[in-house]
Amino acid sequence: MSTEPLLSARGLVKEFPVAGTAGLLRPARRFRAVDDVSFDLHAGQTLALVGESGSGKSTTARLASRLIDVTSGAVRLDGRDITSVTGAELLEVRRQVQVVFQDPFSSLNPRHTVERIVTAPLRYQKRPVPGGTRAFAQGLLERVGLDPDHVGRYPAQFSGGQAQRIGIARALAVGPRVLVCDEAVSALDVSVQAQIINLLRDLQREEGFGCLFIAHDLAVVRQIATTVAVMTAGRVVEAGERDAVFDDPRHEYTRTLLAAVPRIRPEWEQARLRNAAKREAAERGATGRGATEHEAAAGVDRTDADNGPSAGNGPAGEDNPTEVTA
DSSP 3: S
Residues 232, 93, single domain; the answer is yes
Residues 97, 228, single domain; the answer is yes
Residues 38, 170, single domain; the answer is yes
Strands ordered across the beta sheet of 7-17: 30-41, 7-17, 72-77, 80-81
Residues 294, 248, single domain; the answer is no
pLDDT tens string, the chain, 326 residues long: the values are: 457 899 999 999 999 999 888 777 778 889 999 999 999 999 999 999 999 999 999 999 999 999 999 999 999 999 999 999 999 999 999 999 999 999 989 999 999 999 999 999 999 888 888 889 999 999 999 999 999 999 999 999 999 999 999 999 999 999 999 999 999 998 889 889 999 999 999 999 999 999 999 999 888 999 999 999 999 999 999 999 999 999 999 999 999 988 877 665 666 667 767 777 777 777 776 555 555 544 444 444 444 444 444 444 444 444 443 333 33
Residues 273, 217, single domain; the answer is no
Q: Is residue 218 part of a domain?
A: yes
Q: Is residue 325 part of a domain?
A: no
Q: Is residue 150 part of a domain?
A: yes
Contact of 66 with 212, CB cutoff 8 Å? no
Q: Work out how many domains the chain is built from and give that number.
A: 2
Q: Is residue 176 part of a domain?
A: yes
Give the range of the structural domain holding residue 275, as residue numbers without chain letter: 268-302
Residues 282, 166, single domain; the answer is no
Reference 273, options 293, 256, 291, 289; nearest CA is 293
Q: Which residues pair with 90 in a beta bridge?
A: none
DSSP string, 85-112: --HHHHHHHHHHEEEE-S-HHHHS-TTS
pTM, whole model, 2 decimals?
0.78
DSSP string, 251-279: SHHHHHHHHTS--SSHHHHHHHHHHHHHH
| Distance (Å, whole) CA 112 – CA 63 | 28
Residue type, position 160, single letter = G
Residues 149, 92, single domain; the answer is yes
Tell me what pLDDT residue 219 has: 87
Q: Where among 262, 292, 320 does a domain terminate?
A: 262
